[in-house]
Chains A and B, each alone.
Chain A
């Protein structure tokens, strides 16, 4: 006999949700039979608001597209503007940008560790990793003046050069984090209960991943080697040596492993950046921002963030303000269409864990 379905509202106010959104699920027993995501709780009209700001003023909005990792959004916007205008960026600034992006990647994964493990009840892991993330934020604060929102990467380069002794601090922090990864492995990846909760859960097949336009660690967790840093290199990624980890399972476990290995790769990249960084200018100065008009046309730049590919499409009508700005966030696909599909058949206890494994970021959905 068919059981009567119960409707559960996971969000918008729920400890298991990854931000301001809701997943409405119908469950029979513990099994999900239908899932619908609902967004609209966080719409701030960022894209529209940018049309009322000049090309530089947009940065106060850009960093709020995805709070855990604002730097890739800044970088993609800055690069799109540079592409449209044909503005050159000094080599040193490119290295500093990569340094920022990789530090942001590690910091974002540290925060993700907290969310993923919190969804499974392993709160110690989150306390450790979010605590360690503070060392990254300390570096950001020293370099940019802000811990979370930086507005540091902007058209023409970066806002300021590295302070004295900063490179050594970065290397010391990387040494520390590399040691801590062993503790993370002991607590999380070698924990049999974590394995039981994540292996074979939230599976995405390779075919479905391609069909739905899945990107980033979620795609790489399906065994597909895809990374904008390799496929369409930007800044100085083509001068750096690193690998793109992949795993075949397509489940939460595989996605977690990919992220874990990417932290090590980011540490490796940062060390190379410090070693290879040339001296010189960091900023190709733009004119007075209030009078700075971009040529008529459009441009698109894409960056590899921790959720996957983020892209910025800008249109200029030749004035001092954008005519249109459109942001492509990975979470749009992951948290709406994909989530609704893969939740069906899963256990109600795994909703939060699956959401976290997809890197859902509601502010990125509602621009």
Chain B
């Protein structure tokens, strides 16, 4: 009983850490972007203020059950992803839900949220939302290819479909997978650009094209849930990359350094690039990133 209680408390603590770190990264992103753009920018804690404001609002618009459930699906997907990803290497206060094959399960669960959101946005009847959803799913088809190729190459090379198994392999050899499987790392990082939806892959909610797309009909608490789940998802994805390619992290400090370094890649790239069109984005993911993914498979098979 005591263990179950500790696990529940640990899971809640992990969620809170993910929420705070994700929101703070979002705030820092706004600050850094502003500095690049010769602006002062908002304080790094602005996202917390925004979230509080959105959460305090009453929602008067009602589009049906799926519209209500869309943000909930996003949050469920984010939390489940977080629960499957080992946050710290030697974590004695919360054993995460790892099991054999969790990496394959994770691939599915990471797409669950966007699909749920698609159903919710579709029910609003706003054509901008529908087009945004179509764009999001198309882009997902694009970046999933190099992402899956990278993961499959790791599974082949290290004979495991478990995240903890891949972390153990790194601990055993003393080499991060980003160095021992460089092609897989490059493919995965290129796929990450699509996952984070910074420019040039911010096609889903492109304001000047779709008036913010899927979230066009959402406000107040809906946006609060989306913002929160987005922050948790950001932390979970970054932690997953650290676990898979950078040997995990022994403590929170190391984790923050590694995740933020990774987070800077899509953010800074996004500051200096315009947006792709949908077909251009998909074509890009099926180009060099997929090529590096195939090289990673070859490396795994040959070596």
- With A8-B127, A15-B208, A15-B211 given, is the CB distance from A128 to B273 under 8 Å? no
Q: Across the interface, do B38 and A128 meet the contact criterion of CB distance under 8 Å?
A: yes
| Chain A proximity of B212: nearest CB distance (Å) | 8
| Chain B proximity of A34: nearest CB distance (Å) | 15
Which of B19-27, B162-170, B225-233, B276-284 forms part of the interface with chain A? B276-284
Q: Is A119 an interface residue (CB 8 A)?
A: yes
- With A15-B207, A187-B272, A351-B209 given, is the CB distance from A121 to B199 under 8 Å? yes
Q: Is B119 an interface residue (CB 8 A)?
A: no
Q: Which of A127, A191, A347 contacts B273 (CB 8 A)?
A: A191
Q: Is A30 an interface residue (CB 8 A)?
A: yes
Give the distance in Å from the alpha carbon of A119 to the alpha carbon of B209 in the complex. 8
| Chain B proximity of A133: nearest CB distance (Å) | 12
- With A7-B127, A128-B38, A131-B38 given, is the CB distance from A197 to B209 under 8 Å? no
Q: Which residues of A contact B33 (CB under 8 A)?
A: 124
Q: Which residues of A contact B127 (CB under 8 A)?
A: 6-8
- With A121-B202, A121-B275, A191-B273 given, is the CB distance from A127 to B37 under 8 Å? yes
Q: Is A167 an interface residue (CB 8 A)?
A: no
- With A121-B202, A194-B274 given, is the CB distance from A352 to B280 under 8 Å? no
Q: Which of B203, B211, B212, B280 contacts A196 (CB 8 A)?
A: B280
Q: Across the interface, do A14 and B211 meet the contact criterion of CB distance under 8 Å?
A: yes
Name the residue among B33, B203, B211, B280 with the largest chain A CB count within 10 angstroms: B211
Q: Which residues of B contact A121 (CB under 8 A)?
A: 199-200, 202, 206, 208, 273-275
Q: Is A243 an interface residue (CB 8 A)?
A: no
Q: Across the interface, do A347 and B277 meet the contact criterion of CB distance under 8 Å?
A: yes
Q: Is A16 an interface residue (CB 8 A)?
A: yes
Q: Across the interface, do A197 and B274 meet the contact criterion of CB distance under 8 Å?
A: yes
Q: Which residues of A contact B274 (CB under 8 A)?
A: 117, 120-122, 191, 193-194, 197
Q: Which residues of A contact B199 (CB under 8 A)?
A: 121-123
| Chain A proximity of B156: nearest CB distance (Å) | 34
Q: Across the interface, do A119 and B208 meet the contact criterion of CB distance under 8 Å?
A: yes
B residues contacting the other copy or chain, number (CB 8 A): 29
Q: Which residues of B contact A181 (CB under 8 A)?
A: none
Q: Across the interface, do B207 and A16 meet the contact criterion of CB distance under 8 Å?
A: yes
Q: Is A118 an interface residue (CB 8 A)?
A: yes
Q: Across the interface, do A193 and B211 meet the contact criterion of CB distance under 8 Å?
A: no
Give the distance in Å from the alpha carbon of A6 to the alpha carbon of B126 in the complex. 11
Q: Is A171 an interface residue (CB 8 A)?
A: no
Give the distance in Å from the alpha carbon of A348 to the alpha carbon of B272 in the complex. 23
Q: Is B161 an interface residue (CB 8 A)?
A: no
Give the distance in Å from the alpha carbon of A191 to the alpha carbon of B274 in the complex. 8
The 8 A CB mask of A2-39 against B (1 = contact, 0 = none) is 00001110000011100000000000001000000000
Q: Across the interface, do A124 and B36 meet the contact criterion of CB distance under 8 Å?
A: yes
Q: Across the interface, do B209 and A123 meet the contact criterion of CB distance under 8 Å?
A: no
Give the distance in Å from the alpha carbon of A73 to the alpha carbon of B109 in the complex. 59
- Closest A residue, CB atoms, query B198: A121
Give the distance in Å from the alpha carbon of A348 to the alpha carbon of B278 in the complex. 11
| Chain B proximity of A32: nearest CB distance (Å) | 12
Q: Is B128 an interface residue (CB 8 A)?
A: yes
Residues 191-222 of A contacting B (Cβ, < 8 Å): 191, 193-194, 196-197
Q: Is A286 an interface residue (CB 8 A)?
A: no
Give the distance in Å from the alpha carbon of A194 to the alpha carbon of B274 in the complex. 6
Give the distance in Å from the alpha carbon of A30 to the alpha carbon of B134 in the complex. 10
Q: Which residues of B contact A196 (CB under 8 A)?
A: 276, 280
Q: Across the interface, do B273 and A352 meet the contact criterion of CB distance under 8 Å?
A: no
Q: Across the interface, do A122 and B273 meet the contact criterion of CB distance under 8 Å?
A: yes
- Closest B residue, CB atoms, query A347: B277
Q: Across the interface, do A16 and B208 meet the contact criterion of CB distance under 8 Å?
A: yes
Give the distance in Å from the alpha carbon of A121 to the alpha carbon of B33 in the complex. 13
- With A193-B276, A194-B274 given, is the CB distance from A352 to B39 under 8 Å? no
Give the distance in Å from the alpha carbon of A230 to the alpha carbon of B289 in the complex. 51
The 8 A CB mask of B254-279 against A (1 = contact, 0 = none) is 00000000000000000111111111
- Closest B residue, CB atoms, query A350: B277
- With A121-B199, A122-B199, A197-B274 given, is the CB distance from A348 to B38 under 8 Å? no
Q: Is B131 an interface residue (CB 8 A)?
A: yes
- With A6-B127, A7-B127, A349-B277 given, is the CB distance from A118 to B37 under 8 Å? no
Q: Which residues of B contact A118 (CB under 8 A)?
A: 208
Q: Across the interface, do A8 and B202 meet the contact criterion of CB distance under 8 Å?
A: no
A residues at B contact (CB < 8 Å): 6-8, 14-16, 30, 117-124, 127-128, 131, 187, 191, 193-194, 196-197, 347-352
List 7 tightest A-B contacts by C-beta distance, closest first.
A121-B275, A127-B37, A16-B208, A122-B274, A120-B274, A15-B207, A352-B208
What are 12 A-B contacts defined by CB distance under 8 Å?
A6-B127, A6-B131, A8-B128, A14-B211, A30-B279, A117-B274, A122-B274, A128-B37, A131-B39, A191-B272, A191-B273, A347-B277
